[in-house]
Structure 1
Amino acid sequence: MITWDNFYLFATISIILWLAGAVFALSSSKHSKVAISLTIAGVFCLGIFITGLWFFLERPPLRTMGETRLWYSFFMGIAGLLTYIRWKYRWILSFSTLLSTVFVIVNLMKPEIHDQSLMPALQSGWFIPHVTVYMFSYSVLGCAFIIAVSGLIRHKEEYLVTADNLVYTGVAFLTFGMLFGALWAKEAWGNYWSWDPKETWAVVTWMGYLLYIHLRLQQRTKKKMLYIILIFSFLALQMCWYGVNYLPSAQQSVHLYNRNN
């Protein structure tokens, strides 16, 4: 039976496979198939754990911060792999692996006590699509962040084109996530939007990426500024995801359940 106590085993195997895939990707383009296979295996391994934990808890493992970190690591592996396959950046797997590994290690260092209960607000059909769509968008925008940092350092025009595609995809899923969340909020609390800290930072994040898209379409803004906007938008995303939980104003938030365990 797969429980949180088994996580260290699946985490270790996934990290080793991801690191091996990143090494093969860096070594030569001839090893791309091996790199892809190893990365897929790492993602699959973590996916097995998430599925097993789901069956064990008899609920989707999406309630606590640690559980959402699991999904982020899982989707980050997928987003990094898709970016590698599409644009052939041999270094991208190294950075996507780094981000995935950081969140896996945080979960290893901060084990959680899980229970099967879900508060009434979470017993909704919108719960799973809202959180999973958000986590996928966060991972895609995480790859856009990696590209932006690389663009600031290496000054390559092609990186902006890559960032464009990642941002368009990430923002599309982010928008769907906000929509699902609004419908869920209407069902659970009677209002589509309450402007609590998490929702406010969600809008700040969304507007940051929309600003990037607007300026990019205008084609009048310097590349450096565009990369900086992407970086700050990603930092706002991190604030929206978990940073707001440490704000005094968040203590009365309807999203406080995310801090459990």
Structure 2
Amino acid sequence: MIWDYFFIFALISACCWIIGALAAWKGNSMVAYIATLLGVLVFSLYIIIMWVTLERPPLRTMGETRLWYSLFLSLAGFIVYSRWHYKWMLSFSTILSIVFICINLFKPEIHSKALMPALQSPWFAPHVIVYMFSYALFGAATLMAVYLLFFKKTTTDKEMDITDNLVYVGYSFLTIGMLFGALWAKEAWGHYWSWDPKETWAAVTWFGYLAYIHYRLNKNRGIHQALILLIVCFILLQMCWWGINYLPSAQAGSVHTYTL
């Protein structure tokens, strides 16, 4: 089973990401670029092989979505580093990617070929992949917020611009993911939206980030409050992603609840 080889691919990817992060701190950008991208490629190869082996997109269980989050987090860190040369972001994204890898290693799940009828839709893969990419960008933005709020004494406009841009792009992909989800729901259940617990929290998250974007339209407003709002939005996102699995309303019959 392909899952038996996850440790090997994960170890190679993690080593590449660590080498890339260390190289960034030492000022060797070329090694940082090559090592980080190599890690991304190796991890992507594993996901592709898993996709082929399972004969379905590896997106059904929480463990499978964590694979995508690890991949996209490292990619988001690479994008921020290559665009704005924030070496600490590459380090933090590497650490978080490895954390999600370790969660999968310590909590292995059964990755079978079984796929419920509702998931056998052409909208399934693009919906979840786009969502995972938006989650990774929001994760990177939240790392920026935590850094600026608790570790940086003074915040510059450039740093806030980076944070805002990550939110703007993440919000765009989040919106596209919701549209894909609505089309998928129409095909699978006959309606675009039903206020299922997952959909309700998705809407709460969407409006939360929309509130942040509108708040930041006036640059004279407090940066401290904006950063706190961004962290709150990410907490809402976590509730939407996996927190609803523990809600009684979701356990009673949500079609979106992951198999844990």
When normalised by structure 1's length, the TM-score is 0.96
- Name stretches of at least 5 consecutive residues in structure 1 with no aligned partner: none
1:123-144 superposed Cα distances (whole Å, 9 cap, x missing partner):
1110011000000000111110
Query: What SS does the aligned partner of 1:129 have?
Result: helix
| Residue 90 of structure 1: how far off its partner (Å) | 1.3
> Which residue in 1 is equivalent to 2:75?
78
CA RMSD of aligned residues (A): 1.0
Matched letter for residue 187 of structure 1? E
Letter in 2 for 1:192: Y
8 Å CA contact 1:79–1:143 kept in 2: the answer is yes
- Within 1, Cα distance between the matches of 2:47 and 2:171? 25
- Where do 5+ consecutive residues of structure 2 fail to align? none
Q: Report the AA paired with residue 222 of structure 1.
A: G
Aligned-residue offset at 1:221: 1.9
Is 1:134 the counterpart of 2:135 in the alignment? no
Q: Aligned partners of 2:103, 2:116: CA distance in 1, in Å?
A: 25
Aligned residue pairs total 256
Partner residue, 1:232: 232
- Correspondences of 1:59-208 after superposition (within 5 Å): 59-152=56-149, 153-154=151-152, 155-157=154-156, 158-208=158-208
Distance 2:186 2:220 in 1: 40
How far apart, in 1, do the equivalents of 2:255 and 2:113 lie?
20
* Structure 1: distance between partners of 2:237 and 2:30: 33
SS in structure 1 of the partner of residue 87 of structure 2: coil
Structure 2 partner of 1:255: 256
1:9 aligned partner: 8
Structure 1 residue 48 and structure 2 residue 45: aligned?
Answer: yes
Q: Which moved more, 1:144-153 or 1:129-138?
A: 144-153
Q: CA deviation at 1:203?
A: 1.1
Q: Which amino acid aligns with 2:254?
A: S
Identical positions, percent? 58
Query: In the alignment, is the contact (CA less than 8 A) between 1:4 and 1:112 conserved in 2?
Result: no
CA distance in 2, matches of 1:126, 1:237: 21
Contact 1:244 1:250 in 2 (8 A): yes
| 1:219 shift after superposition | 2.4
- Shift of the alpha carbon at 1:230? 0.8
User: Which amino acid in structure 2 is aligned with residue 36 of structure 1?
Assistant: Y
CA distance in 2, matches of 1:249, 1:103: 27
Point out the more displaced range, 50-59 or 217-226: 217-226
SS where residue 253 of structure 1 aligns? coil
Shift of 1:232: 0.8
- How far, CA to CA, are the matches of 1:81 and 1:210 in structure 2? 26
